[in-house]
Amino acid sequence: MAKTNAKDKTKLSKDKLLEMHRMMLDIRNFDNKVNRLVKRGVVPGMTHFSVGEEAANVGAVAAINIGSDLITSNHRGHGQSIALGIDLNEMMAEIMGKATGTCKGKGGSMHIADLDGGNLGANGIVGGGMGMAIGAALTQKMKKTGKIVVCFFGDGAVNEGTFHETLNMASIWKLPVIFYSINNMYGISTPISSVINIDYNYRRAASYGIPGHFIEDGNDLMAVYNKFEELVKYVRDGNGPVLVESITYRYLGHSTSDPGKYRTKEEVDEWKKKDPIPRFKKYLLDNKLATDKEIEAVEKASEDAVEESVKFALSSPEPTLESAFEDVYAP
Amino acid sequence: MMENRKLRATPAARTLAKRLGVDLFNVIGTGYKGRIHREDVAGFNYEDKIHVSPLAQRIADEHNIDLKGVVGTGYGNKIMKDDVLKLISDPAIISRFELDDFGYHTVPATTMASKQPKVQESASAGKPQPVQASTLEGESETVPMTQMRKIIAKRMSESYFGAPTFIQTWEIDMTELLALRKKLINPIMEKTGKKLTVTDLISMAVVKTLLKHKYINASLNKEGTELTFHNYVNLGMAVGLEEGLLVPVVKGADKMSLSEFVVAMKDLTERTFAKKLLPDEQSGSTFTISNLGMYGVDEFTAIINQPNSAILSVSSTQQRAVPRDGEIVIRPIMKISLTADHRVIDGLTGAKFMTDLKAALEDPLILFV
Amino acid sequence: MEKETKLMSVRDAIIMAMSEEMRRDENVFLMGEDVGIFGGDFGTSVGMLEEFGKERVRDTPISENAISGAAIGAAMTGMRPIVDVTFMDFIVYMMDNIVNQAAKTRYMYGGKGQIPVVFRAAAGGGVGSAAQHSQSLEAWFTHIPGLKVIAPGTPADVKGLLKAAIRDNNPIIFLEYKAQYNMKGEVPLDPDFVLPIGKADIKREGKDVTVVTYGRMLERVMQAAEEVHDAEGVEVEVVDLRTLSPLDKDTVIQSVKKTGKVLLVNDAHKQSGFIGEVAASIAESEAFDYLDGRILRLAGEDVPIPYNQTLESAMIPSVERIKKYILKLVNNR
């Protein structure tokens, strides 16, 4: 665990720091809550949790221009969506399949999106968002908007053909994309060591002649943030795409229907010791960047917001039968 | 009527048959393996269907050639263009197959009905009478009933055995009507080119009178459970051909003027003799007239044409001595009989109708009121 | 409005359509393999690099997945890309992006966003290109809600419908036929000549039998109709579907009600081919009671397309066979 040096303290305001802490808390509280709702049978479908990966997500999102820059996501998209500031009420309603959800109950957890806010959406196909990401980046380049795209994917997607094709195309056209692999070291049940012949995926950047970056401790929020600040500037300056990989761990299973037989309890516990949220709290307190009271206020606000979202979702109406036939085509 | 015992027919054929009341089992199908197609039902008129391609038929019509009996070389012996062209070039064949303007064969002996329809069997026609033995020692000839006869037989039986009827016979003094006819013959000829007959005038009187007597112009359904009153008159006129009885129907007779009726009736009659009557023109009547006057019949009663509720039999007009104002005078007298279905019409209703009809026939100017 | 037309090939009509739309809207651009200096695998973008430059006439690596993905991402963020798939067989590499992403995104996002992208694919055989370069795969895409599928059969229809497709806000699969790039016809020169998507066209009126077809077979059906009219006096009504999805069922049904007899023709394989959908639509509609014969289908044989030209020709409906089937119906077989 690297000690943050004093220089970092001056770059970010207290508000921003607390905001980042709040983002992580929201993700943790939201997903834990959904997990409990699933066990109670209240959530009707498939969903994937980001519990444990908060720092890896928030650190990246906090470094971009939220609301202007674009992201694409994968099936494990709660972390990015919440970090981008999606309305928790609508998100909870969507997960419960209600008409008030972000997608009117027709998309579910794997297709949460917020196009106006730059969130081009989670995706049910592994690697499915990568083509979309380079296309969005192509638009920004052709229209000279100065915006960039962060393409989130996991360690499994790197083995899809689309990884190769999209990185190659982005590299020849110098598209403003940050290809970000959040490596939680397991596909569903296969550990990464059994599916790749090298140690880490960031090394693949060399095949495309683009920079490859590595964040060894993806649970260190500031480490992730600092790295991304550097990458965002690089890409926005028109230098072409980059590939970056961070190491983290998911505390809950792959999805709601995963008993987790492929990893040991010891391993999970080891990683729980590196939990990003208490670490960041300690960082804030140790460096006198925020007070106990301030942090507690944020913690409470987060819990309240999540509770509120559950109430909202539970009391929301189901979508009508007619809505199943709407929005198949654009007018 | 349409039982689906392995009957091969297209949906269009079935739809049309249902609408026209044609029993599909009577229809010959020209499709694959005898499948019945729409044109088979539409062209169904009791005659052997001529199976011919549209182009071949056009050429045949242009050259006035009758294709009856011709076996073609197309699918299922369909007559094709080449078959017709071959006929045209063979002079011997042409004379055999020519038609005159009314569609009558110029060689009467072996072909269609002559201009004078004979309902009674006529020994003088060249065609052998199937049911009559020629001499006591001679041979009989047994032939199966033709399609047409079978259908007539079925319909007559159903009507006769299904409906309890009663008959009223009335005598009509035809003096005024015959005078009216004399006056109208020329104007009608000028207007329509057709000759006005007494039957036409009788028909008009019947039609006008019917509208005031709804039970006489009604239709009872087969089960005898539903009675339909029509606010129009489709007049059926029984026409006897050598092969049997046909009943062409003048639709909407109540809305026609005398001239229009004359034209319509002539046209239907001609086509009846030419056997070019479509099923649509033989169905839908609300009342029927059967006229045997021209054969000198004194009196007779016809069988009701289902689903009508009554039929009028018109006999011949004969000069008779009758009392008028205490004196004996000679007048042309015609007998008419009403056969009525007693399930629908009772004696009083029938009598009322006949009273009005008699009044109209004896003083036709009432019809203008 | 100019009412002038000019005799031109399908290829030229395509170039004209794309160029007009690119002049009209700066968000429209073309991407695909060899579309730039080479002018397209079938010459369908000759001259466009010179006029529009390499940003808007964009050569790509051989990466169908990335090409289709990029097109979709660009479409989602405000551009209007045209993708030159080249041989339709290669669209198989693009299936995930077309079927799982483009077709479904708007729906899954509850009505937010749109994906205005046109995938132009050269379908069918007839040029000796063998099994992997001769397929017509429209049936796969008509099965997917969210996609539109267009298959025109004349140069004028190609121009009018390609322009309509580019202006439409949905992902569209646009079929062109390799064997017909040189086919000539009168094409309106009006830059606003646009045909409606989802409307079939009666290319020939008749009362004896209806033939429903589209794309490459239209030419053969029209010829067959002419020949049976001259030889037998049969009047054929030809319904050109033009758009497969959404299907103009109404026009088809009204025509079948009129004639009572219908033959369906396409060059794709018979089994599970698109005309099966048309046949079922007819059979379940009000046209059923007017059917005066079987609903017949004439399609490509259910075999991969062989290389030998004689064999290949025999695998696809010919004018002779079309005439034979028409007469079957006319003769109540």
Are 3 or more Cβ–Cβ pairs between B and C shorter than 8 Å?
A: yes
Over the Cα atoms of chain B, what is R_g? 23
- Test C290 with B14 for CB contact under 8 angstroms: no
Are 3 or more Cβ–Cβ pairs between A and B shorter than 8 Å?
A: no
A324, amino acid identity? A
CA dihedral A48, A51, A54, A56 (to 10 degrees): -70
Q: Is pLDDT of B113 > 80?
A: no
Are 3 or more Cβ–Cβ pairs between A and C shorter than 8 Å?
A: yes
Q: What's the pLDDT tens digit per position in C189-230?
A: 999 999 999 999 999 999 999 999 999 999 999 999 999 999
Q: What's the pLDDT tens digit per position in C4-26?
A: 999 999 999 999 999 999 999 99
pLDDT of the residue at B359 = 92
Residue whose token pair is 């690099």: C49
Task: Indicate which of A109, A142, A168, A316 best probes the interface with C, i.e. most C CBs within 10 Å of its own CB.
Answer: A142
Angstrom distance (rounded) from CA A26 to CA A92 = 12
Angstrom distance (rounded) from CA C289 to CA A138 = 55
- Test A142 with C97 for CB contact under 8 angstroms: no
Residue B366: pLDDT band (50, 70, 90) is confident
Q: What's the pLDDT tens digit per position in C266-275?
A: 999 999 999 9
- Test A139 with C79 for CB contact under 8 angstroms: yes
List of chain C residues whose C-beta atoms are within 8 Å of the C-beta of residue A172: 61
Choice among B35-44, B73-82, C302-311 with the minimum mean pLDDT:
B73-82
pLDDT of the residue at B45 = 63
Q: Is pLDDT of C2 > 60?
A: no
Calculate mean pLDDT across residues C80-91.
Answer: 96
B342 flagged as catalytic = yes
Q: Is pLDDT of C47 > 90?
A: yes
Q: Is pLDDT of B365 > 70?
A: yes
Residue A260 domain-assigned (yes or no): yes
Per the DSSP assignment, residues forming a β-bridge with A70 are A149
| Residue A220 belongs to domain with CATH number | 3.40.50.970
Angstrom distance (rounded) from CA A81 to CA A180 = 15
Q: Is pLDDT of C239 > 90?
A: yes
Calculate mean pLDDT across residues B127-137.
Answer: 47
Q: What's the pLDDT tens digit per position in C109-153?
A: 999 999 999 999 999 998 888 899 999 999 999 999 999 999 999
Angstrom distance (rounded) from CA B90 to CA B107 = 18
Angstrom distance (rounded) from CA C115 to CA B64 = 68
Separation in Å, CA A267 to CA A184, A186, A273, B39, C250: 12, 12, 10, 83, 65
- Test C333 with B13 for CB contact under 8 angstroms: no
The answer for residues whose C-beta is within 8 angstroms of residue B113's C-beta and 6 or more apart is B104, B241, B242, B243, B273
Angstrom distance (rounded) from CA B245 to CA B149 = 8
Angstrom distance (rounded) from CA B241 to CA B249 = 16
Q: What's the pLDDT tens digit per position in B138-169?
A: 778 777 777 677 777 878 888 888 888 999 99
Of B48, B61, B90, B346, catalytic: B346
Q: How many CB atoms lie within 10 A of CB C276?
A: 16
Q: Which of C102, C11, C99 is nearest to C48 (CA)?
A: C11
Residue A5 domain-assigned (yes or no): no
The answer for residues whose C-beta is within 8 angstroms of residue B288's C-beta and 6 or more apart is B235, B236, B237, B238, B247, B302, B304, B305, B308, B311, B312
Domain hosting A130: range is: 10-316
- Hey, what domains does chain C have and what are their CATH numbers? 5-188 (3.40.50.970), 201-330 (3.40.50.920)
pLDDT of the residue at B249 = 93
Low-confidence residues of chain A, pLDDT below 70? 1-10
Does C289 contact B at CB distance below 8 Å?
yes
Residue A3 domain-assigned (yes or no): no
Can you list the alpha helix ranges (DSSP code H) found in A198-260? 221-236
Phi, psi of A59 (to 5 degrees): -55, -40
- Through-space distance between the first and last CA atoms of chain C, rounded to whole angstroms: 49
Percent of all residues in chain C with a pLDDT value above 90, rounded to a whole number? 96
Average confidence score pLDDT of chain C: 95
Per the DSSP assignment, residues forming a β-bridge with C119 are C83, C173
Locate the chain C residue with the closest alpha carbon to B52: C331
pLDDT of the residue at C39 = 94
Does C286 contact B at CB distance below 8 Å?
no
Total domains, chain A: 1
Residues of B with CB under 8 A from a CB of C: 10-15, 30-32, 35, 37-39, 53-55, 58, 74-76, 78, 81
- The more confident residue out of C294 and B276 is C294
Strand extents, DSSP E, chain A: 70-72, 149-154, 177-183, 212-215, 242-247
List of chain C residues whose C-beta atoms are within 8 Å of the C-beta of residue A123: 101
Calculate mean pLDDT across residues B269-281.
Answer: 82
List of chain A residues whose C-beta atoms are within 8 Å of the C-beta of residue C243: none
Q: What's the pLDDT tens digit per position in B19-35?
A: 887 888 878 888 888 88
Over the Cα atoms of chain A, what is R_g? 19
Three-class secondary structure of residue C201 per DSSP: strand
Contact C264, C275 (CB under 8 A): yes
Calculate mean pLDDT across residues C64-72.
Answer: 96
Calculate mean pLDDT across residues B210-236.
Answer: 89
Locate the chain C residue with the closest alpha carbon to B82: C232
Angstrom distance (rounded) from CA B125 to CA B28 = 29
pLDDT of the residue at B126 = 43
Calculate mean pLDDT across residues C159-176.
Answer: 98
List of chain A residues whose C-beta atoms are within 8 Å of the C-beta of residue C79: 135, 138-139, 142-143
Residue A82 domain-assigned (yes or no): yes
Q: Is pLDDT of B225 > 90?
A: no
- Test B11 with C233 for CB contact under 8 angstroms: no
Angstrom distance (rounded) from CA A309 to CA B102 = 91
C133 flagged as catalytic = yes
What is the crossing angle of helices A276-286 and A292-315, to 10°? 150
Q: Is pLDDT of B338 > 60?
A: yes
Size of interface A-C (CB pairs under 8 A): 141
Angstrom distance (rounded) from CA B276 to CA C228 = 29
Give the pTM: 0.71
Out of B12, B30, B58, the one facing C291 most closely (by C-beta) is: B12
- Hey, what domains does chain B have and what are their CATH numbers? 151-368 (3.30.559.10)
Calculate mean pLDDT across residues B280-284.
Answer: 84
pLDDT of the residue at B75 = 66
pLDDT of the residue at A47 = 85
- The more confident residue out of C43 and B364 is C43
Calculate mean pLDDT across residues B299-307.
Answer: 87
Q: Is pLDDT of B47 > 50?
A: yes
Q: Which of A84, A74, A83, A123 is nearest to A103 (CA)?
A: A123
**For residue A292, how far is the Cα from the chain centroid?**
27
